[in-house]
Chains A and B, each alone.
Chain A
Amino acid sequence: MKLVTAIIKPFKLEDVKSALEAYGIAGLTVSEVQGFGRQKGHTEVYRGAEYKVDFVPKIRIEVVVDDGDADGVVGVVVKAANTGQIGDGKVWVTPVDQIVRVRTGEKGPDAL
């Protein structure tokens, strides 16, 4: 099994979620995060004083999928989250050793 983690622009969440549902994934987890990449932060001005805001708000999506679905899910996220502008985000895949469904105790791919 694989964990697909995606950092995307907040306003792209709806598009990515719809695309993943259409692809057929069973569930996902979303969190609001902050960070910077090449986009860096931005500058705000209060009463003439400049404040550099280093961290940009982003959305992190986490989906655990069967090994065979990982590339497909990555492709779906990349397509849906793309605007062509700097700051579109990143997607990465990591191996997952074990999964347990809390309600039934099912393990492995059955728990997905």
Chain B
Amino acid sequence: MIHLAAVQPPVTAAGDTAWVLASAALVLLMTPGLAFFYGGMVRGKNVLGMLMQNYVAIGIVSVLWVLVVYSLAFSSNGFGGFAGNLHQFGLAHMNEPVAGEAIDIPPLAFVAFQLMFAVITPALITGSTADRFKFSAYVIFISLWVVLVYGPIAHWVFSPEGWLFKKGAEDFAGGTVVHANAGAAGVAMAILLGKRKGWPKERMRPHNVPYVLLGAGLLWFGWFGFNAGSALAANNLAGYAFVNTNTATAAALLGWIIIEKIRDGHATTLGAASGAVAGLVAITPAAGFVSPVGAIFLGLIAGAVCSLCTTIKFKLGLDDALDVGAVHLVGGVLGALLIGFFGTKATGIGADGLFYGGSAHLLRLQAEGVGATVGYSFVATMIIGYVLKKTIGIRMTDEQQMIGMDESLHAESAYDFNALSAGSFSGTSFGSSSLSATIGHRTEVQA
């Protein structure tokens, strides 16, 4: 704080700053959007558990970001280039420009914007682990994960000092850092947690499909901040990213429901929402590197491929509950690799891909970026998850799973449609000898 007062921050552009700050707010909204996207897909007894995991991610990551993760991600190289050094620990030295970045916004606007990416990345994992992750273990898991996995990968890819960035691997807004990373981590945690009790024999229908569509709408809206904000300026590149984002998302929505119509006989609303999200994921790395027509092809491919990939988990017997693997891992990897084909210098940045007369060098770089991100994320997540599993335990008991997260973990229920359950007397152990009754603010327990 002393540093802020002592030295004037770098000169900044008002328009760019306004756009990046507004984008940060847009990206924040994506996490509640994701919460409802996932929350609608789980069973009614687990919806608060899902919402809570997403909201608590905002709490935990926001605090850790200020303390240490921002510095790990965006300070100058430290730890032999593995992550940023701790020069900006506790957001110190905010009067200095962001290491290596040629931007005209205040460092703190950059901090705020990048924070929102760090928030939603671990939140994405909750789709794989739905309905069975112990809350205490989840809290510790994402705290460790955002420090040990997100911070370093963000440094490699996003920081101009990062080794993948310097090589020329392209990731406009986080197809690898956010989506492939969270997808790989989600698959790892689904393996460690094991199947939900009853899966796949027991029917686990989405309990509120309108929530899923509402959440997808909020994600789509917030994603304009995610992608167009990643231009870090209010300029032509932001315009490209904005139009590409909408175009690819629209095409992916169509791609997904076309596959459904052919394969299952019906185009579904859940499919439309899922396709839109698959498109958003796939265009994320490519938003500033492809043309709008390229975005149509990229979106169609992503929607169709992600839709087809949702059946893989049944063949593997892997309970990736809400298809984080099929949507975020596959979508993120696909988007990053397709830059190798659809990339064009016409946007003003980046390199030409194979379809624009470029060499295969770009595709190789993209594959390297994907391999490093997915490989590190999967292995590091496995290690963190395994240590937690062997120490404090990560899985809810079968009984807790049967009761549901809302009641067994949070002592709440999402819906009160049943008059018989709404009385002022709540038997905490109904049918046994003790009955507790809450009267006003006083709790009386009679044995």
**Residues of A participating in the B interface, judged by any CB pair closer than 8 Å:** 44-53
**Residues of B participating in the A interface, judged by any CB pair closer than 8 Å:** 203, 205-206, 260, 263-266, 268, 270-271, 274, 307, 310-311, 314, 323
Whether A46 touches B270, Cβ cut-off 8 Å, given contacts A51-B203, A51-B205, is yes
Question: Beyond A46-B268, A52-B203: 4 further Cβ-contacts under 8 Å?
Answer: A45-B264, A47-B271, A47-B307, A50-B264
**Across the two chains, which residue of chain B brings its CB closest to A49?**
B314
**Across the two chains, which residue of chain A brings its CB closest to B203?**
A51
Evaluate contact between A45 and B268: CB separation under 8 angstroms. yes
Point out the residue from A45, A49, A51 that lies within 8 Å of B266, measured CB to CB: A45
Most chain A C-beta atoms within 10 Å of own C-beta, residue among B264, B270, B274: B264
Evaluate contact between A47 and B270: CB separation under 8 angstroms. yes
Evaluate contact between A48 and B263: CB separation under 8 angstroms. yes
Least CB distance, B279 to chain A, in whole angstroms? 15
Provide the main secondary structure of the chain A interface.
Answer: strand
- Residues of A near B203 (CB, < 8 A) are 51-53
- Residues of B near A50 (CB, < 8 A) are 264
Evaluate contact between B205 and A48: CB separation under 8 angstroms. no
- Residues of A near B263 (CB, < 8 A) are 48
- Residues of B near A52 (CB, < 8 A) are 203
- Residues of B near A49 (CB, < 8 A) are 310-311, 314
The docked-state distance in angstroms from the alpha carbon of A44 to that of B274 is 16
- Residues of A near B264 (CB, < 8 A) are 45, 48, 50
The docked-state distance in angstroms from the alpha carbon of A47 to that of B270 is 7
The docked-state distance in angstroms from the alpha carbon of A91 to that of B311 is 44
Evaluate contact between A47 and B323: CB separation under 8 angstroms. yes
Least CB distance, A105 to chain B, in whole angstroms? 27
- Residues of B near A51 (CB, < 8 A) are 203, 205
The 9 A-B pairs with the shortest beta carbon distances in the complex, nearest first, are A47-B310, A45-B264, A51-B203, A48-B310, A48-B311, A51-B205, A46-B270, A46-B206, A48-B264
The docked-state distance in angstroms from the alpha carbon of A44 to that of B203 is 11
- Residues of B near A46 (CB, < 8 A) are 205-206, 268, 270
The docked-state distance in angstroms from the alpha carbon of A49 to that of B205 is 10
Least CB distance, B229 to chain A, in whole angstroms? 30
Least CB distance, B128 to chain A, in whole angstroms? 14
- Residues of B near A48 (CB, < 8 A) are 260, 263-264, 307, 310-311
A-B contact pairs, 5 of them (CB 8 A): A45-B268, A46-B268, A47-B270, A47-B274, A48-B260
The docked-state distance in angstroms from the alpha carbon of A63 to that of B13 is 76
The docked-state distance in angstroms from the alpha carbon of A16 to that of B307 is 45
Least CB distance, A72 to chain B, in whole angstroms? 34
- Residues of A near B265 (CB, < 8 A) are 45
Least CB distance, B257 to chain A, in whole angstroms? 12
- Residues of A near B307 (CB, < 8 A) are 47-48
Least CB distance, B209 to chain A, in whole angstroms? 8
- Residues of A near B270 (CB, < 8 A) are 46-47
**Across the two chains, which residue of chain A brings its CB closest to B270?**
A46
Least CB distance, A49 to chain B, in whole angstroms? 7
Least CB distance, B392 to chain A, in whole angstroms? 33
- Residues of B near A45 (CB, < 8 A) are 260, 264-266, 268
Least CB distance, B323 to chain A, in whole angstroms? 6
Least CB distance, B85 to chain A, in whole angstroms? 44
The docked-state distance in angstroms from the alpha carbon of A53 to that of B314 is 20
Least CB distance, A48 to chain B, in whole angstroms? 5
Least CB distance, B47 to chain A, in whole angstroms? 16
